[in-house]
Amino acid sequence: MALLQISEPGQTAAPHQHKLAAGIDLGTTNSLVATVRSGKAEILPDVEGMHLLPSVVRYCETGAPQVGAIAKQSAISDPRNTISSVKRYVGRGLADICKGCSRSEYEFVDSDSSVPRIRTVAGDISPVEVSAEILKNLKLRAEETLGGELTGVVITVPAYFDDAQRQSTKDAAQLAGLQVLRLLNEPTAAAVAYGLDKGSEGVHVIYDLGGGTFDISILRLNRGVFEVMSTAGNTALGGDDLDRIIAQWLIQQAGLDPSALSAGQMRATLLEACRAKEALSDAEVVGVSLSVTDGSVADDAVWQGELTRTQLYELIDPLIQKTLSSCRRALRDAGIDVDEIEDVVMVGGSTRSPRVRELVGEFFHCEPMVDIDPDKVVAAGAAIQADILVGNKPDDEMLLLDVIPLSLGIEIMGGLVEKIISRNTTIPSAKAQDFTTFKDGQTALAVHVVQGERELVSDCRSLARFELRGIPPMVAGNARIRVTFQVDADGLLSVTAREQISGVESTVQVKPSFGLTDGEIETMLRESMSHAQEDIAARMLREQQVEADRIIESVESAIVADAQLLSAEERSQIDVALSELRKMRDGDDPRKIKQAIEALNTASTDFAARRMDASIQSAMTGHKVDEF
């Protein structure tokens, strides 16, 4: 009889122990958290049974900010301190935020930092911090429901989010104390939720119209591999804009001066616009009313009118047509004909609008799929991906191959952009391009990284600037400076510049021009902890121990599996580094653990690379056998 095994106290149990993971849909209007339980993705409700957390945060003079429905109730009474739709501002500069909206509901202040902040009674708050409050709320909800700490999360972002918006989302997660396994594009997440349910192969379109953003992704499904062929969209177009345009019409009809409206009146008008829009899904005509005073006087004069469905369509059709233009472009970039499309999946609350469904159906010549609740499908897909990434399903065949939505390049002479990685390139991606100096004896080079499709730098988004210094003086045009762009699986860019002759090098993890600096994030983290110093020290030690366990386990199992790929000398170097790390791991000095981890990493890198090569080769050999 086989003996049952019992592990030593304090040691980790079996490697395939179920880990807690969650998917988070951080939406413009609502946010959700989901997890996989008993093989199925489930949206986790709050204590009152509500699945959707309104993405609204209210800052109060004292105490913690309110998040969700309770904050939303103050949208009209306390508009300046109640922040909704913050996703529109994340990763954006002040100029961008003000562009397009004649009147912002919030008071934005310019600060020393490049990040715009919103003035509230609790101080000036950056959009990243507001997002972090929403994430903290969902984290707490998940951990209380699941009864333990989350190992990692997948957070979804619009496919059309640029580098700055992605980096800011990741920063918000860090502030909320979440370990991000992956940033996942929302349409891809929806495809995961649908694809796994139906196992359908072929080309699929995901049409995702959320509160504030629009994405279209075209994917090819093949035996568990989701290959995104192209993506297009607009990060400043969503259901909110439909409401806004209806609200403008209401204001005009009521004969009000838009610039004289208070923030509270503006909110009330938007809510009325949204109500009318929803009512017209069933009715042909709906009565509308608007308070024409600011509510401070008793005799609240009310304007009353009506909105017909025909009038509604006249107002919103141009916006829906804009989304269809993006669809045309995505089809072209994918090199796909409308007739090759299997089906169109509708995602996002705004696709509930019958008019949106009608026009999208006409465009793609098919009945759009609405089987899964369009508000919940993204979070469900993220949960499935999180469950796989955290290691709960080691044998799962699913693989997501996504693309970057916008081209990445650098500024060259004359304010022009040289594209280095073009849009719709599959990530991860790495590309290098050589540049040279412009003047004799030039010893430094300014690298300006931009994102966008236009030829002029001024028409693209500025992502980062850095300098490569210490180039030895040479005749103009003689230096060879290789600029390498690397985009990781989250769609985040890092840039290296290296002078080839002298070997001078400079690297930046692109921190967006409108993002928080590492220093700012650290300060915020410190402030958020009660016993800052001890907490941070304890956290650093724990993080290093986790990483130490991870590399020890990985190297040990690699040796068991593939010892034949090691020379005796390499083996002994690895053994030395392993035993040193084991010793340090049980100490209490995070720096020493880190050093030992790096030593083991150096000793085992070639081995790891060889194993990866071998596994790719063996995958290819499988094909040879199949084909002959």
Partner 1 sequence: MHAADLSSNFFALFDLPVSFDIELDALSARYRDAQRAAHPDKFANAPEGERRLSVQMAARINEAYRVLKDPLSRGRYLLELHGVALDDSDTAFDGAFLMEQMELRERLADVKNSADSVSQLRIIADDIAAHDKSLITQMADLLNEASAESLQQARNVSRKLQFFRRLNEEVEALEDELGDY
Q: Which of residues 532-571 bind partner 1 (CB under 8 A)?
A: 547, 550-551, 554-555
- In the complex, least distance from residue 385 CB atom to partner 1, rounded to whole angstroms: 8
Based on the residue annotation, tell me whether 583 is a catalytic residue of this protein. no
* Of the residues 275, 391, 466, 540, which one makes contact with partner 1 according to CB under 8 A: 391
Q: Is 505 helix (H, G, I), strand (E, B) or coil?
A: strand
Strand order in the sheet with 117-120: 108-109, 117-120, 123-125
Nearest to 270 by CA among 92, 127, 79: 79
Q: Which of residues 570-599 bind partner 1 (CB under 8 A)?
A: 597
* Of the residues 232, 268, 395, 498, which one makes contact with partner 1 according to CB under 8 A: 232
Based on the residue annotation, tell me whether 626 is a catalytic residue of this protein. no
* Of the residues 26, 400, 449, 481, which one makes contact with partner 1 according to CB under 8 A: 400
Please work out the total of residues on this chain that contact partner 1, with binding judged by CB under 8 A: 60
Per CB under 8 A, which region of 196-204, 258-266, 308-316, 607-615 contacts partner 1?
607-615
CA 238, CA 28: separation in Å to the nearest integer?
9
Do residues 35 and 22 make contact, with C-beta atoms less than 8 angstroms apart?
yes
Per CB under 8 A, which region of 87-95, 356-364, 456-464, 612-620 contacts partner 1?
612-620
Cβ nearer to partner 1, comparing 80 with 592:
592
CA 514, CA 96: separation in Å to the nearest integer?
10
To which residue do tokens 């904050």 refer? 71
Count of H-run helices and E-run strands, the chain: 14, 27
Q: Is 334 helix (H, G, I), strand (E, B) or coil?
A: helix
Do residues 160 and 217 make contact, with C-beta atoms less than 8 angstroms apart?
no
Do residues 48 and 393 make contact, with C-beta atoms less than 8 angstroms apart?
no
Nearest to 524 by CA among 191, 207, 172, 16: 172
Based on the residue annotation, tell me whether 215 is a catalytic residue of this protein. no
Write out the two tokens for 176.
């909320």
Based on the residue annotation, tell me whether 208 is a catalytic residue of this protein. yes
413-442 footprint of partner 1 as x/- string (CB under 8 A): ------------xxxxxxx-----------
- In the complex, least distance from residue 621 CB atom to partner 1, rounded to whole angstroms: 7
* Of the residues 64, 70, 101, 399, which one makes contact with partner 1 according to CB under 8 A: 399
Per CB under 8 A, which region of 242-250, 302-310, 434-442, 617-625 contacts partner 1?
617-625
Write out the two tokens for 411.
């500024």
Nearest to 487 by CA among 407, 562, 555: 407
- In the complex, least distance from residue 245 CB atom to partner 1, rounded to whole angstroms: 16
Cβ nearer to partner 1, comparing 455 with 534:
455
Nearest to 469 by CA among 450, 444, 493: 444
- In the complex, least distance from residue 509 CB atom to partner 1, rounded to whole angstroms: 13
Active-site option among 46, 72, 87, 243: 87
Give, in order, the Cα–Cα distances in Å from 466 to each of 180, 331, 430, 479.
27, 36, 19, 18
Q: Is 232 helix (H, G, I), strand (E, B) or coil?
A: strand
* Of the residues 109, 225, 444, 475, which one makes contact with partner 1 according to CB under 8 A: 225
Active-site option among 105, 133, 163, 208: 208
Cβ nearer to partner 1, comparing 413 with 620:
620
Active-site option among 46, 105, 186, 520: 186
Task: Give 101's contacts (C-beta < 8 A, 6+ positions apart).
Answer: none
Cβ nearer to partner 1, comparing 4 with 619:
619
* Of the residues 7, 11, 223, 257, which one makes contact with partner 1 according to CB under 8 A: 223
Q: Is 145 helix (H, G, I), strand (E, B) or coil?
A: helix
CA 269, CA 247: separation in Å to the nearest integer?
6
278 lies in the binding site for partner 1 (CB under 8 A): no
Residues annotated as part of the active site: 25, 87, 186, 208
Residues engaged in binding partner 1 (CB under 8 A): 152, 181-182, 222-223, 225, 227, 232, 322, 325-326, 328-329, 332, 388-391, 397, 399-401, 425-431, 453, 486-489, 547, 550-551, 554-555, 597, 601, 604-606, 608-610, 612-613, 615-624, 627
